[in-house]
Amino acid sequence: MSQERFDRIDSHLERIEARQTAADQWMTRADEWMARAEERMTRTDEWRARADERFERIDGRLDRLEHGQIDTNRRLADLGQHMRVLHEDMIERFKGLQEKDSPTRNEMRQALAEERERTDRPR
C-alpha cells in the first residue's frame, strides 16, 4: 500500500475519532441533563407526595367539620323543638294564671279598688 493510502486512512480515522469524541461529549452532556431531570423528577415526586399528604389531612378535617355541622344542626333542631315546647307550656301557664285569680290576687284587687275610692272621694 502506498503512503498516500495510509494518509487517507489516518485522516479518516482522525475524523472518526473526532466524531467519536464529539459524540462522547454529547453523551456526557445528555447524561448530565438526565441526572438533573431525574433530580427534578425526584423533587417533584416528593412535593407531590407531601401535597397528597396535606390533601388527605384537609379531607380528614373537612370530614370532621361536616360531621360537626351535622351534629350541630341536629342539636339545634332538638333545642328548637325543646324551646317550642317550653314556649307553648309557658303560654298555657300564663293563660291559666289569667283565667284563675288566686285569693291573694282578689284581695289585692279589692284593696286597690278601696284605696282608689278613698283617694277619689272629695273631702
Domains of the chain, by residue range, sit at 3-120
Segment 30-56 shows an average pLDDT of: 97
Instruction: Quote the pLDDT of residue 122.
Output: 63
* pTM summary value: 0.46
Does residue 29 surpass a pLDDT of 80? Answer: yes
Query: What is the Cα–Cα distance from 88 to 63, expressed in whole angstroms?
Result: 37
How does residue 77 score in pLDDT terms, banded at 50, 70 and 90? very high
Q: How far is CA 62 from CA 21, 48, 52, 56, in A?
A: 60, 20, 15, 10
Instruction: Quote the pLDDT of residue 101.
Output: 60
DSSP 8-state assignment for residue 4? H
Instruction: Quote the pLDDT of residue 110.
Output: 86
Query: What is the Cα–Cα distance from 112 to 105, expressed in whole angstroms?
Result: 10
**Amino acid, single-letter form, for residue 13:** L
Instruction: Quote the pLDDT of residue 97.
Output: 66
Q: Which residue has the cell 283617694?
A: 119
